């Protein structure tokens, strides 16, 4: 237990000691006076001591209540465990050209943006949110922040172009969480990944949203294992259908299909969840299902009111006992 005003403890203890001494002197004086009156036959001395404790109970409760009130002047604080949602969430958007497809209205990208904005608005203020855009490469477009306006602005700036590299999306998201490049080479070899130690970020998660196959030719699963070692859960969101679709890109017809097996494997490797989002309603439900984890923080909470309330209860009980025994409060 700590105190906001610890300097008040000494005068409070001194006052409590004076109260006890004063009560004992008053009790001794009353006993002497009763003996004097008994000597001349005006009162009878008590012959039974079985219930002596009942005579002392009300004064004892009164003194305890006053001591608690004096103790509360130091404004005591208790250390309590407070559960709260906190941590870092990275929204990793696939910005490949296929995100311009209109099977989700008005387009996959616009539908994803709208759902992401709702997700951002519904997060607790303690959650830091960052934005990563990945296509052929990965870019941190907004470092993790508690400013919802900055995050929404970064989401609104996203535009589709290029191919898809799921591994780059994971690696760039880890860099955003760590606040630095986690690997010197953005195309790491397996040997670099095996020896990598990027730290531990158990309160962080990545929401990786993509609509097509990985076109980079690199296996993203080793990078998912790196995320798992760092304690980062990767939730994957698949937009579209495994059957695929065809869209026009710069005058060419391009076929794109969702690789659900890969996205499930990435999520399973990091203890995350795979969410299929084949229409706008499903996409909204995806974001409403993703919640940062609960953490427990120890905080100092002032408990002056608790001591004051306990003192008030003791004062009331002491008064009731005194009235029941002698017909008066004091």
- Which two tokens mark 146? 């508690």
**What is the reported pTM?**
0.64
Does the pLDDT value for residue 83 go beyond 80?
Answer: no
Task: Look up the domain containing 244 and give its range.
Answer: 87-291
Are residues 274 and 315 both part of a single domain?
no
Rounded Cα gap, residues 266 and 149, in angstroms: 30
Rounded Cα gap, residues 84 and 19, in angstroms: 44
Structure-model confidence comparison of residues 45 and 142, the more confident one: 142
Are residues 30 and 119 both part of a single domain?
no
Residue 204, burial from CB neighbour count under 10 angstroms (0-12, 13-18, 19+)? buried
Are residues 119 and 49 both part of a single domain?
no
Does the pLDDT value for residue 330 go beyond 60?
Answer: no
Are residues 71 and 108 both part of a single domain?
no
Are residues 206 and 244 both part of a single domain?
yes
Are residues 23 and 91 both part of a single domain?
no
Q: Give 257's DSSP letter.
A: -
**Is there a contact between 75 and 306 (Cβ–Cβ < 8 Å)?**
no
For residue 173, what pLDDT band results from cuts at 50, 70 and 90? very high
Are residues 121 and 229 both part of a single domain?
yes
Number of separate domains in the chain: 2
Are residues 40 and 127 both part of a single domain?
no
Rounded Cα gap, residues 187 and 24, in angstroms: 83
Supply the pLDDT for residue 84.
60
Are residues 183 and 42 both part of a single domain?
no
Are residues 211 and 72 both part of a single domain?
no
The Cβ of residue 251 has, within 10 Å, a number of other Cβ atoms equal to: 5
Are residues 109 and 174 both part of a single domain?
yes
Are residues 228 and 282 both part of a single domain?
yes
Structure-model confidence comparison of residues 190 and 310, the more confident one: 310
């Amino acid at each position: 237990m700590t105190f906001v005003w610890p300097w008040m403890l000494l005068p409070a203890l001194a006052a409590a000691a004076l109260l006890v001494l004063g009560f004992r002197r008053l009790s001794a004086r009353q006993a002497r006076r009763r003996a004097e009156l008994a000597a001349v036959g005006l009162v009878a001395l008590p012959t039974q001591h079985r219930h002596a404790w009942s005579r002392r109970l009300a004064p004892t409760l009164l003194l305890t209540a006053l001591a608690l009130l004096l103790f509360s002047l130091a404004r005591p604080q208790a250390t309590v465990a407070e559960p709260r949602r906190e941590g870092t969430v990275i929204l990793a958007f696939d910005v490949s050209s296929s995100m311009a497809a209109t099977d989700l209205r008005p387009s996959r990208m616009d539908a994803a943006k709208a759902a992401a904005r709702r997700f951002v608005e519904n997060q607790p203020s303690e959650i830091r949110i960052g934005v990563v855009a990945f296509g052929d490469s990965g870019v941190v477009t907004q470092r993790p922040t508690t400013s919802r306006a900055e995050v929404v602005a970064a989401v609104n700036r996203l535009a589709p172009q290029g191919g898809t590299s799921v591994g780059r999306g994971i690696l760039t998201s880890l860099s955003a969480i760590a606040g630095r490049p986690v690997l010197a080479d953005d195309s790491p070899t397996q040997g670099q990944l095996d020896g990598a130690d990027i730290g531990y970020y158990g309160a962080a998660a990545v929401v990786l949203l993509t609509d097509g196959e990985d076109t980079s030719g690199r296996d993203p699963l080793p990078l998912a294992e790196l995320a798992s070692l760092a304690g980062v859960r990767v939730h994957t969101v698949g937009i579209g259908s495994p059957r695929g679709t065809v869209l026009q890109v710069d005058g060419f017809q391009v076929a794109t299909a969702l690789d659900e097996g890969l996205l499930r494997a990435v999520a399973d490797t990091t203890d995350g969840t795979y969410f299929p989002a084949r229409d706008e309603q499903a996409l909204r439900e995806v974001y409403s299902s993703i919640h940062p984890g609960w953490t427990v923080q120890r905080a100092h909470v002032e408990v002056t009111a608790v001591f004051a309330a306990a003192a008030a209860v003791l004062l009331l009980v002491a008064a009731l006992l005194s009235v029941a025994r002698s017909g008066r409060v004091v």
